[in-house]
Structure 1
Amino acid sequence: MAEGYVLKASTRDRVGKGAARALRRQGLVPAVIYGDKKPALPIAIPMKESTLVLHRGGFMINLGTIEVDGKSHRVIAKDYQLDPVRDDLIHVDFLRVAKGSELTVDIPVHFINEESCPGLKEGGMLNVVRHTVEMTVPADSIPDELIVDLATAQVGDSIHISSIDVPQGCIPTITDRDFTVATIAAPGGGSTAEDEAEDEAEDAAEEEADDKAEDKAEDSKD
């Protein structure tokens, strides 16, 4: 599990677009802490420090601590918005994380031994179907990544979730099939593996759309 972060915050007395813009002019980011059957807590976090935490990587899978008025809140970022020009944070939604709880997060997939992969040496192409895998994981041991070893992968091979060493206690949210994570497509295309990858990609896109719809159903936090 990657190193967490600590951010100091202050409570927000006012919410809404006007109040949010005023905070940003002061170098602050409007945010909210919600969940764990407690009332939502509107807060403001420092823009510079929080943007640095974001661009350090792993923002959506690392637990953080938000200190508000002398009280520490253990959280994980569930959503955020960026300024389209400066790439600074302009809003963050934090979920409270209770000790011993489980979370649903997207774990990045990392490929190793591409240089020695037989299929790639023969001219095949690595076709990544899922750059992340949605998993239910223990809050206290969120994996940084899933490792896919390509050392023996051949042209036409499909790499399924069952062939990946999943950390103990972590369970993919898709349980009805042994879904494809990547394929080694034949040179020139036209392989069955590519067709399978396209189907998986469509499934992944549909799942992402469903997730976004569920997220939008949450109360807005500005």
Structure 2
Amino acid sequence: MAEMKTLTAAARSGTGKGAARSVRREGRIPGVIYGGGDAPEPIALDYRELNKLIYAGHFLTTIFELEVDGAKQRVIPRDYQLDPVKDQPLHVDFLRLKAGATLRVDVPVHFINQETCPGIKKGGLLNIVRHSVEMRVPADAIPDAIVADLGKLEINESLHISAVPLPDGCKPTQRDRDFTIASIAPPIAAPEEPGAAAAAAAAGKGGKGAPAAKAAPAAKAAPKPKK
């Protein structure tokens, strides 16, 4: 389950691009809290704290106890924008989490037992089809990851979502088919060099090489002049 973290913010009155630029000039990042049946709430967050949280990883699957001017509420980030040049946060959206709520998140897939996978030991190649799976999960029990065991896969075999244990209350959003998570592809044969192929073909014809060229007839000596 994802760990809950604390975060503080301040309410802001202005909205729109001009107000957002003003907040950024103060060293803060504009954001919005929405959902849960309440009106959207514009907020401003500390730039350094938010930037650190985003680049620490798992930001979009972390539940925060967000305190805004003394009032606390549970939220989860749903989206954020980065500057296309500087990669600095520009805006963030939070979703309110009410009791018993569920939400859709991309849950990472962790692969285990690659070193004992019989297909890989025979030279097969691991083909990861899905690095994450979109799932509907309880808001208070978001998994950090799901675990895919490769320990029994042979070459040309696949691991499907039905073979991956899922945490209680978590279900894939795609329910119409048993989709593939990973497979073991056959090893890639090295291409044969043209010279080696020609030599092998010649050897296959009775084991003899090309016939030797006939020697040119010896030149006749010129006749001696008569005295």
Structure 2 length-normalised TM: 0.79
Deviations 1:146-202 (A, max 9, x none): 10111122111111000000111111111111111111111239xxxxxxxxxxxxx
TM-superposed CA distance for 1:8, in Å, is 0.9
CA contact (8 A) 1:81 1:90 kept: yes
Equivalence for 1:81: 81
| RMSD of Structure 2 on Structure 1 (CA) | 1.4
Equivalence for 2:157: 157
Point out where structure 1 has 5 or more consecutive residues left out of the alignment: 190-222
Q: What is the rounded CA distance, in whole Å, between the counterparts of 2:42 and 2:28 in structure 1?
A: 13
In terms of fraction of residues, the more helix-rich structure is 1
SS of 2:60 mapped into structure 1? coil
Alignment-mate amino acid for residue 182 of structure 2: A
TM-superposed CA distance for 1:89, in Å, is 1.6
Equivalence for 1:101: 101
Alignment-mate amino acid for residue 154 of structure 2: Q
Equivalence for 1:116: 116
Give the ranges of 4+ consecutive aligned residues of structure 1 lying more than 6 Å apart after TM superposition.
none
Equivalence for 1:202: none
Greater Cα offset, 71-80 or 55-64: 55-64
Q: What is the rounded CA distance, in whole Å, between the counterparts of 1:153 and 1:48 in structure 2?
A: 45
CA contact (8 A) 2:66 2:74 kept: yes
- Say whether 1:33 aligns with 2:33: yes
TM-superposed CA distance for 1:124, in Å, is 1.7
Equivalence for 1:177: 177
Which of the two has higher C-alpha Rg? 2
Aligned residues: 189
TM-superposed CA distance for 1:7, in Å, is 1.3
SS of 2:13 mapped into structure 1? coil
Alignment-mate amino acid for residue 172 of structure 1: P
Alignment-mate amino acid for residue 187 of structure 2: P
CA contact (8 A) 1:5 1:53 kept: no
Point out where structure 2 has 5 or more consecutive residues left out of the alignment: 190-227
Equivalence for 1:70: 70
CA contact (8 A) 2:2 2:141 kept: no
- Say whether 1:52 aligns with 2:66: no
Alignment-mate amino acid for residue 58 of structure 1: H
TM-superposed CA distance for 1:114, in Å, is 1.5
